Structures are given as C-alpha cells and as structure tokens.
Structure 1
Amino acid sequence: MKVAFRADAAVEIGTGHVMRCLTLADALARAGAACLFVCRDLPGHLLPAIEARGHAVHLLPAAGDFVPRAGDPPHAAWAATPWERDAAETAAALASFAPDLIVLDHYAFDARWEGVAAAGRRLLVIDDLADRPHRAEILLDQTLGRRARDYDGLLPAATLRLLGPAFALLRPEFAARRAESLARRRAPRLSRLLVAMGGIDKGNATGAVLGRLARTALPADLSIDVVMGGAAPFLDAVRGQAAAMPVPTRVLVDVADMAGLMTAADLAIGAAGGTSWERCCLGLPSLTLVLADNQAGIAHALAGAGAALPLGRAEAPGWPERLAAALADPPLAELAARAADLCDGQGAERLCHVLRAGGALSVRPATAADAPAVHVWRLAEGAARYYRQGQVPSVEGHVAWFGRALADPARLLYMVGYGDLAIAHVRFDRHAVDPASADIGICVDPRWRGGHVGRGALAAALDAAQKAGIRTVIAEIHQDNAASRRAFEAAGFTPLAGDGAFLRYALVLGSVQP
C-alpha cells in the first residue's frame, strides 16, 4: 500500500498537523505501507523530523506573498500560495509515486483542491473545523463533541465520518504508558508541573505562563518541566526565564519521550490543541490556554466534560489570575478520571483497521468470545435508559444470556467491523409464527458512535439477514433515542403503532437504502 500525505508545519501553522500525520504514517509503515510526505518549504518545516522517522519527503518550492481571495477557505493564507498552484504541484509530485491513498491534513484546502490533487484516488481528510466542503471517502475529526450533522452539506452522503477523541492520532507510547500513568493518579499531589504550549509557540505563551508562575505561591518541592520545539522563536528567552525561576525549572527541546514526561507530571499547563488528547490518554490533569481560534471549541468541550480547567485565551486579560487560583487547589483526581474517560490512545490503530479494510464493513457470526466486549458496550453511559428492561445485567448474567442466544436456532447474532476489529453487535430474533420475520437489536461500540458508522453497520447486518432468509425486520426504539431513530429511518424503516415510550418500525428487506 502506498500512502501520500499533504500537510505543512510552519511558524504560522505550528507542528501539530505534520506530527499527527507522522503518527499515522508510522502505524501504516509498521503494517508494510510506503509513505510519502508532500510539504511546502515554509519557515519551521519538519523535513528532518519526517526523514528521521524513515519516510520520504517531497518539498514543494517556497512561495511568495499570497493574499487570499474571496471564496478561499478561512485559513487559505496558510498555504502561502493559491490552491490551484498547490494542487497542480502536489499532483505532479505524486504522479510517479502513484499512491493508493492520499491523506490531506491542511486547513487551507477544500473540495476544489481535492478534486485536482486527489482526482481518481482514495482520499482521507483530517479536519477539526467543519468549515468548508470536502470530497473525501473518509473524514476524521478528533474534536470532542463533534457530530455527524456538523458536516452535513460539506461531504458526500457516503463519506465515512470518524469523529471524536477515540480517533485521536497518538503515538503508540501513549497507550503503552496509560496504565502506569493512571495508576500514579490514585493518590495525587502537585510536585511536578509540565508547561507545553506547542512546538512553535509563536506568541510566547510559554514566557507569559512562566512570568505568572514566578509571581505565584508554589509548593516548596515543586519542579517545572518546560517543553519547546527547536524552531520556537522565543526559545532563548524562555531559557533565560527558566534560570531565574524560584523553583527548579528545566527547558526540554524536541522531546522524544513526551509520554514518559507526561506520565511523570502531576499537572500540565498546555495549549488546547492536539496534545490535549495525549494528556487525556494519560489522565494528566490540565489547565488549558487557547492559542488559536480552532482551539476554543476544544477548550470549551474539555471544560464541559470536567477533563480540564480553562484559563481562556492567551491574548485576553484575566487568565493569569485564573491560573494562580487554579494552582491553589487543583482537583487533580477528578480531572484525571474525567480526562482518561475521553481517549484511550488507540485512534491510529482504529483508523488503520478502516484503511486496511478499504473502508468496507464486514459481517461475521458472533461467538462466545464476543460477549464481554458487547457487555462493555451496553454499559456505556446513558445507554441503559433506552432499554425496555431499564438496566444492563452483570457480566456473568450477560455472558450466560449470550451463550443461550448463540445456541438458539431462532436467533442470528452478528458482529460487524473492519477486518478483525468488531465495532457493532446486531441480533435478529425470528418470529415463531413467521420465521421470515424478525425483531432486530443493535449495540454499537460507544467509541464509534456519532459519525454515521452505526448506519453502515446496520446496513451490513441487514444484508446478512436477508441472505439468511429474513424478509421483514421489526425494530423497537425508545422515543428519546433520536440517533437510533434517525439511523433506522435512513435505512428505510417506516413507523408502526407505538407501545408507550417505545416506537416500532418495520422494513421489508430489498428496500434498504444504499
């Protein structure tokens, strides 16, 4: 498999787009893929870092002054050149490589660029903004709280939408350190503080944070680690500040083991960007500063989930006082638990399963080994209120029921997924008086909910049921389960008479919507 990446790093853009693409490229390379990065020659590009990871790079020529035009995307200036030129240069760079897949992670480009540079090729778009149209087969947006409807009208209806921090592209060392990191959060105390405002930090938020910390009452045994990139324009100034801090403070540049550093930290002060998900994976309590417009939504969502304390925008007044107040008595244990619930560090592996499967779902018969996973999915927060029985049985009770259901010839139990990764369980209970009719039940892994993935799983299972001789399917859905109702209606189910809080739908197979 050949995969090409179009992403840039620069003083204006930061390093996050290239770094998360590197994470995906590394994961694909471990599975045998060949990866090529196409990057513009901009101040602060990461050509050496990409090559050090073993990937090929094609550097597009430096561009002159570019003034975005009417109709260009809001971040068009980040391309430093008109999209038409970039698309043509990218297409030329990819001609001899002939990639099977193009990955675009760039706010400056939209469907017009994609129609030229990715014409005739599979396209994965990585986005965080939902502010411009795309023509991708797969879209990944790791933003907390992102919903499929945010991209309605911006994507083809058939585009697979992978949404939320479950798909955050983190290097494998974060998942590897997760258990160790969470274990040390059980008896928290503030003795080691991490300050990480991004690889570039063009506005020197790091210096502003250190300035405030120098004037704040800190624990006597506190030590501070400051992380910066080698291309950060204020690196020398920050080193000078660190030397004058009232507590031991070291400045670490181009850190190779960020997961280890975060694991050892008790609290982080960081930008509300992509590193938020690294901190969440390790349960690292955080105070977040907004350094760019696209970080505001992340900071708000993290605060709403109780996973971080927001300090506000770096250029706005008031955040230094909020920082001092938060340090006086930070709720470390609560923040750690809420953060860890949001991201497990497996996003790159999930995406690789999708890509290796060509984005196509497969269906297999369920086995007894699937019972524990399905039980965990059923325990997802809030799901039980949609069940007629109102609660989920114990794992022992569920496993016993699952075994009986597998042995019942009137029941069909399926697992739907990408390759060997199951993402949904679907059950059909044949009617005794008409075995060609069946009731349906579906349970989707909560990490895959919210992006229309459940609709694809439903369609795949219905196709399997039709092949097994089922002609009519009846669904019973709680009236408040709006997402499930929309999924079944999109599949062609039509309403029947209801039963109290539960609505009944029917579908004659053969009328399934594509």
Structure 2
Amino acid sequence: MKTVWIRADASSSIGAGHITRCIALAEELREAGVSARFICRKLEGDLIAFINKRGFVAETMAGDSGDWTLLEDASKTCAVIEKYGGEADWVIIDLLDNGIEMDSALRSVARNILAIDDHADRKRDCDIIVNPHFFPSAEQKYKTLTPPDCVTLAGLRHALVRSEFRKARQEGLNKRNNEIKRILVSFGGSDCAGLPDKVIEALLPFGKAGIKVDMIMGFGDHDSNSSVDYDGANITFHSFVDDMVSITEKADIVIGAYGVSTMERMLLGAPSIIITISESQMALARILAEAGYAVYLGSGHDVTPDKIAGAINRLKDDPYTLRFISKTIMERVDGLGAKRVVKQMGL
C-alpha cells in the first residue's frame, strides 16, 4: 500500500484550517486505497483527537512544543517517517511560514513533495504546489518560486473541503429564501480575544428581533464575566463543533474570519461577512470581496459593532444581492478540489 505522510498543525494561535483541509485530502487518499498518516506538534488546541476521530493516526514529534526552526522541524519529521520504514511515496506539508529549506530537507524521506501554500511569496522545492484561494496571479507567481517541473494547482477549483460539505451542497441553494432568519458566527479555532464581544453587541438587536444566532466559541474567545447583556436575545453558544455542515447549512449568513471555513461556506451557498484576525488573511479576504464573493469589514482590531450591524442590515434589506452571492459562490466552489489534487498525485 502506498503511504502519504501529512505534516500539519492546529493550535489556539494557528487555528484549525490547516488540519481540516488536510483531512479533506486524507479522506480522498483513503478512498483511493492510500495510507495517510499525520505528523503534528503537541500544542494547545492541536486537534489530534479530532484527527483520530476521523479515523487517522496522528504521530507527535519528540521534544517540547517550543519554537523550532524549519530545519529542526524537518529533522523531527524525518525521524518519525524513518521510524515507520523510511521513504514515503508523498509528504504533504501544510505549515505556517514554511519554505524551501524544509521542503528540501524532507527529500531524504519522500519520493515526492506536495506543498499547500497560501501566499505565493517564497521559494518552494516541491513537485506539486496547491494554493486553494481565489488568487488570480498565483500561477504566474509560482513560475519563479518553484522548480520548472512543479505542477501548480491554484484557485477555488482546488479548494480543499471535506466530503460531507460536498454531499450537502445539492440542497444548499434550495434551502435559501433570500431572508436572514439565522446567523452563524465562527472564527475557527483561533484565539481572537475581544472580537466575539463586539460581534455579540452588534447582534443583540437582531437576536431580540427574533433572528436566531449561533456562536461557535474558539479558544479563549469569551469571558463568562463579560458585561454584555444577552437578556432577551436569541443567541446560542457552542464549543468546538464537529458537524460544521449542519450548523452552516442552517445559516443564512456567516460572520467569521477568512480561511478554510470560507470555502466551506461558499460550497454551501452561505454568504460571508469576513472580519480578519491576522494580517496574513487581509489580502486574500480583500480580493474575495472585490470579486463580489463576500463582504469584508477589515481587521478585528478596527471593526466596530456598528459596522458589523450595518453590514448585516445591508444584506437583510437587499434580498437580490443575498441571493446573487449565494448562487455565485456555489458556482465557484464545487467541493471536488481534494479529488483533483489526489488525481494529480497519481494515486
């Protein structure tokens, strides 16, 4: 049986997206009869239990969870792979700030390297590079950043979304009736201290007016002693949710950060109001909004409750735009990205 190792992390600072999109790939690999195994660091909010629940093994690396250089990370990753027999058919790398140093170091244990990249701003040594964002200039940029024979898979056609979202897609648009009756708030697994209270303040009038609000709380998001008054507002708080499909498809709009969950919402036709929680998200969120695929309000540090409420009201008062966004984003993300990537891997 062919073997693929996946090097990816999640944490309260990194978020959950790197792991969830790698699970999408791992599930397609499993369907193709390939053994997919994860290598992760033990961190707060690492999602190792979630990986195991999806039926995959997650090996952890020796040593503490402090800051490592890319070469130290590569060395520890190689040690895990060598422990299980050495050379892998493929190693998939999906890490923040990764670059050519780690790619090249992993060549000693991998016949092929697949890199998942978000920004096209550094050199890579890989056989396939996947940039799953709406990023029109990505293919041109990678020509100078990757080896001549590297295959570039860029754009929303290669969005890495788990299979359960694809299965729910057919019913997604039919359930949307151009009204806002339910709002989902989710900023992924990241710690975005302070932002949820701004969102709650913005949503209180809507909740009191009968609009249902679901808030998925991340690590350290919410202080139970918050002074915000929820009395009379129809707001339900959730901890980390395994079944994101059900809660997303019920939502008429979603307020959240930019990331993998943005593609999940697009697949289900749920328009996004995006508030970025890191500088790295800003350019991609802006490009998506300029194309008409989302509403972008800027950084969580700068956004105000009034600005959030204003964006909701504009969509609420314009059912044509709400419907147009739903239809358009579903056309852009079809949920087959992981299948396309695995096919290109020749597995």
TM-score between both structures, scaled by the size of structure 2: 0.90
In 1, Cα distance between the equivalents of 2:32 and 2:228?
42
Q: Is the 8 A contact 1:279 1:285 kept in 2?
A: yes
The answer on whether the counterparts of 1:191 and 1:219 sit within 8 Å (CA) in structure 2 is no
Choose the corresponding residue for 1:162, options 119, 137, 153: 153
CA displacement at 1:202 relative to structure 2: 3.5
The match for 2:341 among 332, 348, 351 is: 351
Question: Is the contact between residue 208 and residue 234 of structure 2 (CA under 8 Å) also seen in structure 1?
Answer: no
Match of 1:105 in 2: 94
- Please say if residues 273 and 294 of structure 2, whose CA atoms lie closer than 8 Å, have aligned partners that are also in contact: yes
Aligned residue among 225, 241, 244 for 2:230: 244
For residue 14 of structure 1, give the secondary structure of its aligned residue in structure 2.
coil
Distance 2:310 2:165 in 1: 30
**Corresponding position: 1:336 with 2:323:** no
Offset of 1:27 from its aligned partner?
1.7
Amino acid at match of 1:36: R
SS at match of 1:237: coil
Residue 280 of structure 1 is matched in structure 2 by 266
3-state SS of the aligned residue for 2:184?
Answer: strand
Counterpart of 1:149? 140
- RMSD between aligned alpha carbons? 2.1
Paired position in structure 2 for 1:481: none
Alignment of 1:376-415 (within 5 A): none
Which of residues 216, 227, 240 in structure 2 aligns to 1:227?
A: 216
* Mapped pair 1:322 → 2:323: no
1:55 matched residue in structure 2:
56
- 1:218 deviation in Å? 5.6
Change (3 A) 1:63 1:16: same
Q: Give, in whole Å, the separation in 1 of the partners of 2:63 and 2:190.
A: 19
Rounded Cα–Cα distance in structure 2 between residues aligned with 1:242 and 1:253: 19
1:272 Cα shift? 1.4
Preserved CA contact (<8 Å) 1:63 1:81: no
Letter in 2 for 1:101: W
Moved over 6 A (4+): 240-243
Contact in 1 for aligned 2:271/2:325 (Cα 8 Å)? yes
Instruction: Please give the alpha-carbon distance, in whole angstroms, between the structure 1 residues aligned to 2:264 and 2:159.
Output: 9
Relative contact order: is structure 1 or structure 2 higher (C-alpha 8 Å, sep ≥ 6)? 2
Structure 1 position 292 matched with structure 2 position 278: yes
Aligned counterpart, 2:167 = 176
Residue 253 of structure 1 deviates from its aligned partner by 2.0
Pairing partner for 1:306 from 276, 283, 292: 292
Letter in 1 for 2:83: S
1:126 and 2:116 are equivalent in the alignment? yes
Query: Would the aligned equivalents of 1:226 and 1:251 in 2 still touch at CA under 8 Å?
Result: yes
CA distance in 2, matches of 1:169, 1:140: 9
Q: CA deviation at 1:64?
A: 6.5
Say which is worse superposed, 139-148 or 155-164, in terms of deviation.
Answer: 139-148
Partners of 1:170 and 1:345 within 8 A in 2:
yes
Deviation, structure 1 residue 271: 0.7
Query: 1:96, 1:217 → 2: CA distance?
Result: 55
Corresponding residue SS for 1:207: helix
Q: Which residue of 1 aligns with 2:318?
A: none
2:170 partner amino acid = A
- Paired with 2:45 and 2:248, the residues of 1 have a C-alpha distance of 25
TM-score normalised by the chain length of structure 1: 0.62
1:403-482 alignment, distance < 5 Å: none
Partner of 1:508: none
* Cα distance in structure 2, aligned partners of 1:320 and 1:286: 16
- Identity rate, percent: 30
Q: Give the total of aligned pairs.
A: 337
Deviation digits for residues 1-34 of structure 1, max 9, x if unmatched?
Answer: 2010111111221111111111211221122211
Would the aligned equivalents of 2:20 and 2:162 in 1 still touch at CA under 8 Å?
no
Listed one character per residue, the Cα deviations across residues 318-344 of structure 1 (whole Å, up to 9, x for unaligned) are 543321212223032122122222211
Change (3 A) 1:228 1:27: farther
1:103, 1:219 → 2: CA distance?
47
SS at match of 2:172: helix
- CA distance, structure 1, for counterparts of residue 250 and residue 8 of structure 2: 31
Q: Which runs of 5+ in 2 are unaligned?
A: 316-320
C-alpha distance after superposition, 1:453-488 (max 9, x if no partner): xxxxxxxxxxxxxxxxxxxxxxxxxxxxxxxxxxxx
